């Protein structure tokens, strides 16, 4: 049985810590709501988590994202993220790229690719929609994903056929960005606890939220993304834990000498070349340690079906650095270390919107910028209030603006 006495300290429960949820927590807390953020993982960020890799050959360790990241140019999104994180978003000097099937480097957005994406999604909606109607439950996620992505493309991105706006990134990189979002939510008054939500049910005019340790909370509102591993219960009176399957990726940090770098790519997505997925530049503060001058780090995201041996890993890294035109042919590189990224793929995705009075879901799965653009369009207050931009970060933070004499994204 769950605890008899449910805690009633909070008004709003925010489930999950991806950037949209951290933004939302700050906004609600600034408005004076008592907010609790929960995550089943002790490390915040969801797919935007950060990690520290020990580098024995240097004095300072390496702070890295656990996957390569890019935020696409959707209407109002950069401005909103700037205000929420309190850090400028600057035009990326090297715009994100993709490696096509034939190994050619292409701009991240290009006309044939956009048209192809629209066709693929339309086919996805038709095929998976039909399978869902015929009772194939497993097709429902694909159907929902394709439908939402197609709507986003038609709503926000079709204008890119005439020309795509330049993409931007946070001045000090994504590790700093995520840290700021979290710190600012806490400074605004939100609390954070590690909890895994397993059930949400009505209790009078409040929502009773149960976690995996059978603790309960009573809150007025629950905010979650569609990917928090819950599904409607059989009686249709609430939501309970759903199944998820892990999707394992490996992010390897490699270091190259500046002189051995052909192109300082900031982000390159690689199309269908197993196990290569994406490569991005690790943008952090200027080196504190002198031994770091003249080197640059890149994050290579790989997806192996089983644990790779040393030789397989090395050849995947070489191929990734060559295909993306990052290293001069044959130039040496050093592997600093690797982090595993376990993203959970939900088998039952929640629908998006107000599921009941006070239970609201946001869909950012697959594309953070699209999720934020939809939130801005449908749910954000007309003039959202954020903490002032000059709020200094806590000492625990990985980086402070005072340490920096120039934008890391531009340090090439």
Ligand X SMILES: Cc1cc2nc3c(=O)[nH]c(=O)nc-3n(C[C@H](O)[C@H](O)[C@H](O)COP(=O)(O)OP(=O)(O)OC[C@H]3O[C@@H](n4cnc5c(N)ncnc54)[C@H](O)[C@@H]3O)c2cc1C
Q: Given the rule CB under 6 A, which residues bind ligand X? A: 15-18, 21, 38-41, 46-48, 67, 69-71, 196-197, 225, 227-229, 249, 341, 343, 364-369
CA distance 376 to 352: 14
Rg of the Cα atoms in the chain: 22
371-396 core/surface letters (b: 16 or more CB in 10 A; e: else):
bbbbbbeeebeeebebbeeeeebeee
CB 205: neighbour CB atoms within 10 A? 9
Q: Residue 52: exposed, middle, or buried by beta-carbon count in 10 A (0-12, 13-18, 19+)?
A: middle
Choice between 47 and 254, CB closer to ligand X? 47
- Determine the Cα–Cα distance for residues 282 and 408; give it in Å rounded to an integer: 9
Position of minimal CB gap to ligand X? 46
Ramachandran region, residue 201 (left: φ > 0; alpha: ψ -120 to 50; beta: rest): beta
Q: Find the shortest distance in angstroms from Cβ 169 to ligand X.
A: 10
- 214 torsion bin: left (phi>0), alpha (psi -120 to 50), beta (else): left
Rounded (to 5) percent helix, strand, coil in the chain: 30, 30, 40
Which helix (H) or strand (E) segment holds residue 113: the answer is: helix 111-133
Q: How many residues does the chain have?
A: 412
Contact 301, 270 (CB under 8 A): no
Pair of tokens at residue 84: 């929420």
- Backbone phi and psi for residue 359, each to the nearest 5 degrees, phi listed first: -115, 110
Q: Residue 115 contacts by C-beta under 8 Å, 6 or more apart in sequence?
A: 161
Cα–Cα distance for residue pair 289/59, rounded to 1 Å: 7
DSSP for 154-206 reads: IIIIGGGGG-PPPPEEETTHHHHHHHHHHHHHHHTT-EEEE--EEEEEEETTE
**Least distance to ligand X, CB of residue 226, Å:** 6
Please check whether residue 307 is in contact with residue 198, taking contact to mean a CB–CB distance below 8 angstroms: no
């Amino acid at each position: 049985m769950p605890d008899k006495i449910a805690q009633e300290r909070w008004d709003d429960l925010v489930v999950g810590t991806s950037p949209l949820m951290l933004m939302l927590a700050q906004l609600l807390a600034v408005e004076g709501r008592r907010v609790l953020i929960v995550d089943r993982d002790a490390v915040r960020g969801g797919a935007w988590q950060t990690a520290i890799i020990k580098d024995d050959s240097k004095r300072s360790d390496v702070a890295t994202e656990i996957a390569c990241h890019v935020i696409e140019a959707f209407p109002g999104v950069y401005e909103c993220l700037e205000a929420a994180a309190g850090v400028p978003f600057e035009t990326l000097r090297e715009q994100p790229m993709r490696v096509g099937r034939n190994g050619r480097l292409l701009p991240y957005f290009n006309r044939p690719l956009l048209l192809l994406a629209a066709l693929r999604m339309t086919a996805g909606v038709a095929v998976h929609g039909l399978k869902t109607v015929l009772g194939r439950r497993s097709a429902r996620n694909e159907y929902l994903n394709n439908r939402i992505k197609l709507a986003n493309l038609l709503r926000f991105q079709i204008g890119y056929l005439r020309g795509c706006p330049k993409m931007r990134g946070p001045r000090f990189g994504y590790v700093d960005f995520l840290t700021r979002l979290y710190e600012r939510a806490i400074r605004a008054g939100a609390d954070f606890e590690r909890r895994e939500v397993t059930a949400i049910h009505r209790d009078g005019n409040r929502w009773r939220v149960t976690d995996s340790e059978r603790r309960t909370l009573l809150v007025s509102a629950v905010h979650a993304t569609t990917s928090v591993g819950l599904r409607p219960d059989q009686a249709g009176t609430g939501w309970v834990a759903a199944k998820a399957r892990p999707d394992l990726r490996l992010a390897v940090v490699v270091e190259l000498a500046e002189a051995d770098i052909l192109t300082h790519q900031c982000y390159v997505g690689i199309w269908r070349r197993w196990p290569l997925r994406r490569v991005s530049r690790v943008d952090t503060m200027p080196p504190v340690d002198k031994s770091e001058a003249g080197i640059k780090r890149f994050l290579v995201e790989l997806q192996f079906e089983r644990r790779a041996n040393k030789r397989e890993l090395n050849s995947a890294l070489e191929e990734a650095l060559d295909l993306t035109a990052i290293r001069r042919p044959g130039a040496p590189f050093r592997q600093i270390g690797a982090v595993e990224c376990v993203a959970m793929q939900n088998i039952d995705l929640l629908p998006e919107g107000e599921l009941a009075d006070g239970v609201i879901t946001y869909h950012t799965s697959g594309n953070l910028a699209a999720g934020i653009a939809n939130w801005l369009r449908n749910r954000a207050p007309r003039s959202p209030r954020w903490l002032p931009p000059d709020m200094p970060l806590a000492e625990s933070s990985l980086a402070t603006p005072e340490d920096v004499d120039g934008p890391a994204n531009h340090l090439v």
